[in-house]
Amino acid sequence: MKLPTRVLYVDLKRHSFSVEDRSDLFQYYIGGAGVGINLLRENCPEGVNPLGPDNPIVFAVGPLVGLYPLASKTVAMFKSPLTGNLGESHAGGRSAVAIRSAGYGAIVIKGTSETPIYLAISDKDVKFRDASGIWGIASSITVGRIIRELETGAGTRTIMRIGLAGERLVRYASVITETYRHFGRLGLGTVFGSKRLKAITVSGNHGFEVSSRKQYRETYDDIYKRAVESPVMKKYHDIGTSSNIMPLNLQRGLPTMNLKVTTSPEAEHISGENLAEKYLGRRVACAHCPVACIHIAALREPYENEPYFYKTTMIPYDYELIYGLGSMLGVFDEKAMLHLIDHVEIWGLDAMSTGVVLAWATEAQEKGLITEVETLGLALKWGDADTYVKALEHIVKQPNDFYAALSFGVEYASERYGGADFALAFGGNEMPGYHTGPVGYIGYLTGARHSHLDGAGYSIDQAAFKDKLPDAKTSAAKLLKEEAWRQILSSLVVCFFARGIYDKDTVVKTLETAGHRITSEELDRIGLEILREKNQFKVREGFKPGKLRIPGRVFETASPLGKVDERYIRESMAEFYKLLNAN
Amino acid sequence: MTRLNVVDSDRCVGCQLCMFACNRRFGEGGLAKSAIRVKSAGGFERGFVVVACRACPDPPCMKVCPVDALKPRKGGGVVLKSSKCIGCGHCADACPVKAVFWDEEANKPNICVHCGYCVSYCPHEVLTLKEAETI
């Protein structure tokens, strides 16, 4: 039986690597987030500069990867240059299967290379390739095209890379993998850039044994059947995550124009239904996922100066991208929105952070906090995507102090220029697209990643549309329970969309076939433990839960559950941390 | 006799469930023993190519095997006699569609037996199993 327990340590300064068996970590923490946070604690000294050589990048996968459908995520851990504490970001594509097939459960990358490089990791060795010739290439897509031709492993490899935003250290730069998947949040691309690491390819040929062939096949068939028959999976296959635009707009929970409003009569244009009907050109899946939730628009446009000359661009769209670069900026012309998404992909930026930063800048200019002196002549205006495209380039290249401030995130920019009340970040991370009610916000505030995915507070709000909102303490307990369980899912590295399929019994059963015996009680305990460790890391790096800022805008704009009550949020947060830190 | 058939690679989403299914026939996870491969047609934006054995009536892979480890299969393609194989790799080189894959651990080719196990795990109707045409 072979669990993925080997850890590859790469030193970018010395261009050397070593391998260590860390069964100790994998047997206790399973993989992914659990192993990731422990490798981060071991390898990230207290108080390091997130952009210095001592900030490690950790990638971790888990024991179900390559064995079962929908277990295809890679967890990245690092110290975030955006928030200054925990950086954790997940991506799919082919990354997880590639890492395990190369014979590894985790990869730890340390140091800074003196010259630009990219890494080619296989089951045989690690090559440190000179990337001087591709450094400075602005487009993440072009970088992928070049490396695809240079390296082997077509069909089973991952190619993680950064665009110019990562090189120029925009604090919310992303790492793009397989063209359409991202380690989007909290600035992993920035850390790549700080290490002069343009890309990483991983491939390999290892097979994975199971404890019982018969039980493996039976369990597999059960999961496969449930996956292809599930209505949730069908929803994400047909329209994709963007099927949530219209419901959120109808519920008046879709943050629009920097959350001045929460609905728009024009939302239909950027809805998943409209995009599918007019533009859907292809669906793509992560490795081992029957759902294929990744939806790609084919945008056919003429070249301006030449008649009958067209280009077709394939642009991915998802709920959060449409929120960030569509509704949040008042861009309801779907073609203009797709353009904006395309540029964000090319530069390699986090779509949510970018949208929130531009939305704040638009309102700041509206209110006169900044003028065209700061914006270098741009008049930022809701819905004006062409101007936003120009502003994006300035954020990446930072020609003046103002754009440099924007490249640090909305928290920093509003500290410099004012307008904190409408700077929509929580714990330093720009908000996702749900203004559903108080519990969503409690989730953004208390979640270890300040993400809607941590404890899914928005779903507690949404359940209260029909029912009653639980009291503040109950909400806290529910959030904590969900976030703790999700530590298990992200240690197995199962996609959260499959959380209904991977219930506790299924997890125990699949782990058993993978060679990992564990009880469901142990799962609960370890989930909570991982969450505590993540929070301990944050506190160690200066995170102060008691001092979390809540932008006033949240209380001004009514949610589907009415005006959001600050006392409810504060009470619930206090309870959350009390429960989290209780023995 | 049946043979594997790629009906419509434009429907392919690149999930690779066929590859994992093929490997699972040997009761293990991963892709090391898979005899089918899905790769992008030059990046995910261009869609996918399904590389699978065409069940040639006169298989080029067989003709270059120096030890007669590959025998003609009824309905097209070849059957591998593993004990004879010396792992020289000529078969993989000779296949014009590059559908002979390699098991690095065993140092032997992964040869498609046209069993159709992969077909039952393709949720997007890319693959079918059809009767081999008689010549």
Q: Which residues of chain A does CATH 1.10.599.10 include?
A: 429-581
Cα three-residue angle A111-A115-A117, rounded to 5 degrees: 75
B128 pLDDT band, cuts 50/70/90, is: very high
CA end-to-end distance (rounded Å), chain B: 13
Q: Which residues of A touch B45 (CB under 8 A)?
A: 141, 179-180, 282, 296, 314
Please give the Cα distance from A549 to A566 (Å, whole number): 11
CB–CB contact B31 A283 (8 Å): no
- Write out pLDDT tens, residues A394-432: 999 999 999 999 999 999 999 999 999 999 999 999 999
Extract the tokens encoding A13: 């300064």
| Class of residue A142 by CB neighbours under 10 A (exposed 0-12, middle 13-18, buried 19+) | middle
- Residue-level pLDDT at A442: 98
Cα three-residue angle A449-A454-A456, rounded to 5 degrees: 140
State mean pLDDT over A425-440.
98
Superfamily, domain A6-202: Aldehyde ferredoxin oxidoreductase, N-terminal domain (3.60.9.10)
Q: Is the pLDDT of residue A583 over 80?
A: no
| Class of residue A160 by CB neighbours under 10 A (exposed 0-12, middle 13-18, buried 19+) | buried
Q: Is B117 on the interface with A (CB under 8 A)?
A: no
pTM of the predicted model, to two decimals?
A: 0.98
Rounded to the nearest integer, the mean pLDDT of chain A is: 97
Task: State how far residue B10 is from chain A, nearest Cα, in angstroms.
Answer: 9
Q: Which residues of chain A does CATH 3.60.9.10 include?
A: 6-202
Angle between helices A385-397 and A351-366 (to 10 degrees): 110
Nearest by Cα to A161 from A188, A185, A126, A186 = A188
- Residue-level pLDDT at B132: 78
Alpha helix ranges (H) inside A44-139:
95-101
CB–CB contact B29 A156 (8 Å): no
Chain A, 154 to 173: residues with Cβ < 8 Å from chain B are 154-156
Answer for the pair A217, A114: CB distance below 8 angstroms, yes or no: no
The single-letter DSSP state of residue B41 is S
SS3 of residue A155 by DSSP: coil
- Residue-level pLDDT at B134: 57
State mean pLDDT over A462-482.
97
Alpha helix ranges (H) inside A294-436:
319-325, 334-347, 351-366, 372-375, 385-397, 401-407, 410-417
Q: Is A220 on the interface with B (CB under 8 A)?
A: yes
Answer for the pair A137, A89: CB distance below 8 angstroms, yes or no: no
Chain A, 323 to 382: residues with Cβ < 8 Å from chain B are none
SS3 of residue A581 by DSSP: helix
Among residues of chain A, what percentage have pLDDT more than 90?
98
State mean pLDDT over A467-495.
97
Q: Is the pLDDT of residue B135 over 70?
A: no
Half-sphere exposure of A307 (CA within 13 A, CB side): 0
Q: Is B96 on the interface with A (CB under 8 A)?
A: no
State mean pLDDT over A329-356.
98
Q: Which residues of A touch B123 (CB under 8 A)?
A: 228, 290
Q: Which residues of chain A does CATH 1.10.569.10 include?
A: 240-398
Q: Is A287 on the interface with B (CB under 8 A)?
A: yes
A246 pLDDT band, cuts 50/70/90, is: very high
Strand runs labelled E in A23-111: 57-60, 74-79, 86-91, 106-110
State mean pLDDT over A353-370.
98
SS3 of residue A286 by DSSP: coil
The minimal CB distance from A179 to the residues B29, B43, B124 is found for: B43
CATH fold for the domain made of B2-125: Alpha-Beta Plaits (3.30.70)
Q: Is the pLDDT of residue A146 over 90?
A: yes
The single-letter DSSP state of residue B109 is E
What does residue B8 show for φ and ψ, rounded to 5 degrees? -155, 95
CB–CB contact A207 B105 (8 Å): yes
Angle between helices A472-492 and A520-540 (to 10 degrees): 100
What is the secondary structure of A418-440 as a DSSP string? S-GGG--EETTEE--S----HHH
Please give the Cα distance from A359 to A258 (Å, whole number): 5
CB–CB contact B13 A284 (8 Å): yes
Cα dihedral value A564, A570, A572, A575, nearest 10: 180
What does residue A559 show for φ and ψ, rounded to 5 degrees? -100, 175
Q: Is A320 on the interface with B (CB under 8 A)?
A: no
Spatial CB neighbours of A520, under 8 Å, sequence gap ≥ 6: A504, A505, A507, A508
- Residue-level pLDDT at A196: 98
Nearest by Cα to A359 from A430, A271, A265 = A430
Specify the CATH architecture of the domain A429-581: Orthogonal Bundle (1.10)
Strand runs labelled E in A131-196: 158-161, 175-177, 181-183
State mean pLDDT over A419-448.
98
Q: Which residues of B touch A216 (CB under 8 A)?
A: 24, 27, 29
Beta bridge partners of A225: none
C-alpha distances in Å from residue B123, one per residue of A7, A99, B16: 34, 25, 10
Q: Is the pLDDT of residue A304 over 90?
A: no
The minimal CB distance from B23 to the residues A148, A207, A514 is found for: A207
CB–CB contact A144 B43 (8 Å): yes
Please give the Cα distance from A245 to B130 (Å, whole number): 42
Buried b (16+ CB within 10 A) or exposed e, A506-525: bbbbbbbbbbbebeeeebee
Tell me which of 1.10.569.10, 1.10.357.10, 1.10.10.10, 3.10.450.50 is the CATH number of domain A240-398: 1.10.569.10
Q: Which residues of A touch B42 (CB under 8 A)?
A: 145, 148
State mean pLDDT over A486-508.
97
Please give the Cα distance from B134 to B113 (Å, whole number): 18
Q: Is B123 on the interface with A (CB under 8 A)?
A: yes
The single-letter DSSP state of residue A134 is T
Nearest by Cα to A457 from A478, A436, A440 = A440
Please give the Cα distance from A483 to A282 (Å, whole number): 33
